[in-house]
Amino acid sequence: MTAPAPHFTRLTVIGLGLLGGSVGLAARARGVASRVVGCGRSRESLAAALRRGAVDEIRAGVDAVREAEFVVLATPVSAMPGALGAVAAGFQPGALVTDVGSVKSPLADLLPGLLPPAVRFVGAHPMAGSHQRGIEHARADLFEGAVCIVTPSHDTDPQAVERVASFWHALGARVVLRTPAQHDAEVAWTSHLPHALAFAFARALEEAPSGACEVSGPGFRDFTRIARSDAELWSEILAANRKAIAGPLQETAQRLAELARMLDANDVESLERFLGIARETLTRIAPEGLRSRPSGGENPEIAAAKSAASEGERKITHD
Of 92 and 182, nearer to a copy of itself (C-beta) is 182
CB of 282 vs a copy of itself, minimal distance in Å? 4
What amino acid is encoded at 201 in this protein? F
Judged by beta carbon, residue 38 or residue 129, the one nearer a copy of itself is 129
Using only C-alpha atoms, the chain has a radius of gyration, in whole angstroms, of: 21
Shortest distance, position 233 Cβ to a copy of itself, whole Å: 9
Smallest gap, in angstroms, from Cβ of residue 161 to a copy of itself? 17
Alpha-carbon 274 to chain mean position: 32
Instruction: Write down the least CB distance from residue 174 to a copy of itself, Å.
Output: 9
- Cβ nearer to a copy of itself, comparing 51 with 228: 228
Q: How far apart are CA 199 and CA 230, in angstroms?
A: 11
CB closer to a copy of itself, 45 vs 151: 151
Say if CB 75 and CB 97 are below 8 A apart. Answer: no
Cβ atoms 36, 69 nearer than 8 A: no
- Closer Cβ to a copy of itself, 54 or 226, answer by number: 226
**How many CB atoms lie under 10 A from the CB of residue 25?**
24
Asked if 179 and 186 count as a contact pair (C-beta separation under 8 A), the reply is no
> In whole angstroms, how close is the CB of 310 to a copy of itself at the nearest point?
24
Phi and psi at 57, nearest 5°, equal -155, 165
Q: Least distance in Å: CB of 145 to a copy of itself?
A: 10
Q: How far is the CB of 196 from a copy of itself (least distance, A)?
A: 6
User: How is residue 310 annotated by DSSP?
Assistant: H
Nearer to a copy of itself, 51 or 255 (CB): 255
Look up residue 283 and give its amino acid: T
Closest distance between a copy of itself and the C-beta of residue 45, in Å?
Answer: 21
Nearer to a copy of itself, 211 or 312 (CB): 211
Where are any strands of DSSP class E within the chain? 8-14, 33-39, 57-58, 70-73, 96-99, 120-121, 123-126, 147-151, 174-177
Q: Closer to a copy of itself at the Cβ: 55 or 175? A: 175
Least distance in angstroms from the C-beta of 143 to a copy of itself: 11
Nearer of residues 46 and 198 to a copy of itself, judged by Cβ: 198
CB 96 within 8 Å of CB 72: no
- Cα separation, 242 vs 237, in Å, equals 8
Burial 95-131 (b: 16+ CB within 10 A, else e): bbbbbbbbbbbbbbeebbebbeeebbbbbbbbbbbeb
What value, to the nearest 5°, has the Cα angle with vertex 30 and ends 25 and 42?
Answer: 15
